[in-house]
Structure 1
Amino acid sequence: MQRFALIGAGFIGSVHAGNLAAHPDIDFSVVYDVSTERASAIAERYGARVAASLAEALDPAAVDAVFIASSTDTHADTLRAAVDAGLAVLCEKPIDLELARAREVVSYAEARGARVMMDFNRRFDPDHAELKRIVDAGGIGTIELIQITCRGPVVPPLEYVKVSGGQMRDQNVHFFDLARWIAGADPVEVFAAGSALAEPRLKEYDDVDTSVCVLKLPDGALVQIDANRRTGYGYDERLEVLGSQALVESQRQGARRVTHYTADGVAQSPLHAGWFERMQPTYARALDHFVTLLETGAPIEPGLSDGLKAQAIAEAATRSLHTGVSEKIVY
């Protein structure tokens, strides 16, 4: 049994708490949050203990691993403290909003041989994973174009936008990671264009809600990512990879995979209401993957370098939004 501490008892922390408690090989031991009330609610529900401090939550005599799901501005410090305690870490993205700070913490963790996995949960969507398997098996030939769509359904509250780092760092970073993962290569440059169409007030934070990014891979192949924060039809996520011989697609998904055929036409289920409804099962799969890596001693993937590289792409894309030119990606 892996003894886990959960750091962060907000929305996503509560999701992870349920998965920690349900996993047969996890002893969900401790929860810590700056809000004792939030931490107590989770502890009472799942039979965990509330830690009075971060140091208590990271006590290596009591826990083996820690899940960092606290606010973004605490990730780096908590990660460093967990590394100092000798704990394995599963960490929500990003490592830190400042790329230089993220690099510093990653260097610190790697020098100490820390076992840290980034929670890029979309890698654990079964359809995305099958697409990746087909690409890796040579089922489409050589990659020439990757098309990724992420749309909707609503613009986040402005209070969240203020601290999120913007669309490139907050929303698109997942798809920068998917692009690297699918291609098996690191993009070398990116051009991004965007507008604040759904919520004009985003301009006050130098942010956008509608964007297109074009990434160039080392061999000249291209990745196009279109992202939108607001749709009128539900959450729309899909991947398509065009190769020299064939095409493979991970399609948009309805809330139910049922189609009704009648003489009057064809009726299909609407899309999932939001990203969480679409992606919720992937969090449990990512956690299970992490536990398996801990138990087998296998290399950690996606690891800190994956988080750092996705963040480097996001930084270059953010620069491109403001400069209006293609930007080199500095890893």
Structure 2
Amino acid sequence: MLAFALLGAGRIGRLHAANIAAHPNARLAAVADAVPAAAEEVAARHGARTASVEDALASAEVDAVLIATSTDTHAPLIEAAAAAGKAILCEKPIDLDIARATAAVRAARAAGVALAVGFNRRFDASFASLKARLDAGAIGAPEIVAIASRDPAPPPLSYVEVSGGLFRDMMIHDLDMARWLLGEEPVEVHAMGSALVDPAIAAAGDVDTAVVTLRTASGRLAQISNSRRAAYGYDQRIEVHGSGGMLRAENLRPTTVELATADGFVRDPVLHFFLERYGPAYRAELDAFVTAVAAGSPPAPTGEDGLAALRLADAAQASLASRAPVSLADRTDGR
């Protein structure tokens, strides 16, 4: 039974708390949050105790920490948890600064503790099945990966202003997926972006609509399209074209029922947002982490995966600013 301390009891923290409490081989031992009332509510709901971060990390009853706090606290919490000898599952990104993120990953590696980064989309049943079939050679070698990821509406401006930008906050999931599916590391990034949804996002120095193209050394390509607005719901689709065919994973809907009348065909709308769309993926992510830690195996996605996705996000930001492709070989980032 892996005993967790949950650090962060906000929206995503509450989801993780419920998943830990429901897991047959995990237990929620302690909850810490900068807002005591939030920690108390989550702890009471799942039979845990509240604690300060320091007390939770010092506790002999805690085996692992799940970090679901604000991004600016991730790196120092990883380092503190590593020093305490705790296994770590941290929400993305590790940090908005690549050098700071690299230092945190190195600290975990030096301490010999397990570190996994919460790229939960790898654990979505459809995406995982697509990956398994791709690895089994169902379509030969991948040549083009196309990823569409569009939110139903933009987040509050207060969030945009501290998010690190669309590439580091939103597209970082898709950059990780592109690496995972291409099977090779991208060597070149070309980004274009606009503020078409909300002019206030442009005023905050960010974009809300973006297209990024990645190229690997062998010439494999990935194209990612992101938007902060999709009038029809949470749009999450992947297509991989290969030498022997194509694999595609479509949006999920509440049911597969379709109504056909003289007016045409009608289906359920797509699921509304990430909590509905990726609820099962978050549970599968936790299960994979618990299983790996129990077996003494490195959990995935690793800290290095987190760094690689952040490097791509940084390169996309640089490409957007320069209006030109960016070579990963030309960049230094504290590695």
With normalisation by structure 1, the TM-score equals: 0.97
What corresponds to 1:54 in structure 2? 53
How much does 1:263 deviate? 4.7
In the alignment, residue 72 of structure 2 is paired with which amino acid?
A: D
In the alignment, residue 27 of structure 1 is paired with which amino acid?
A: R
Contact preservation (8 Å) 1:91, 1:119: yes
Q: Identity of paired residues, percent?
A: 47
What corresponds to 1:208 in structure 2? 207
Of stretches 125-134 and 269-278 in structure 1, the one that deviates more from structure 2 is 269-278
Question: Aligned residues, how many?
Answer: 330
What corresponds to 1:5 in structure 2? 5
1:234 is paired with a residue whose SS is coil
Contact preservation (8 Å) 1:147, 1:240: yes
In the alignment, residue 173 of structure 1 is paired with which amino acid?
A: I
How much does 1:60 deviate? 4.3
- Residues 1-331 of structure 1: matches in 2 within 5 Å? 1-51=1-51, 53-329=52-328, 330=331
Mapped to 1, the partners of 2:256 and 2:216 lie a distance apart of: 35
2:186 is paired with a residue whose SS is coil
Mapped to 2, the partners of 1:96 and 1:152 lie a distance apart of: 22
How much does 1:170 deviate? 0.5
Unpaired runs of 5+ in structure 2? none
Mapped to 2, the partners of 1:167 and 1:296 lie a distance apart of: 36
Contact preservation (8 Å) 1:12, 1:69: yes
Mapped to 1, the partners of 2:45 and 2:108 lie a distance apart of: 33
CA RMSD of aligned residues (A): 1.1
Unpaired runs of 5+ in structure 1? none
In the alignment, residue 124 of structure 1 is paired with which amino acid?
A: F
How much does 1:202 deviate? 1.1
With normalisation by structure 2, the TM-score equals: 0.96
Contact preservation (8 Å) 1:60, 1:85: no
Mapped to 1, the partners of 2:273 and 2:85 lie a distance apart of: 37
Contact preservation (8 Å) 1:60, 1:87: no
Deviation string 1:122-151 (CA, Å, 9 cap, x unpaired) is 000010011101111111112111000001
Of stretches 105-114 and 142-151 in structure 1, the one that deviates more from structure 2 is 105-114
How much does 1:262 deviate? 3.7
Mapped to 2, the partners of 1:207 and 1:316 lie a distance apart of: 15
How much does 1:256 deviate? 2.1
2:116 is paired with a residue whose SS is strand
Mapped to 2, the partners of 1:244 and 1:257 lie a distance apart of: 31
Contact preservation (8 Å) 1:176, 1:314: yes
Mapped to 2, the partners of 1:32 and 1:245 lie a distance apart of: 51
Deviation string 1:52-96 (CA, Å, 9 cap, x unpaired) is x21101124120000000111100111100000000000001111
How much does 1:264 deviate? 4.2
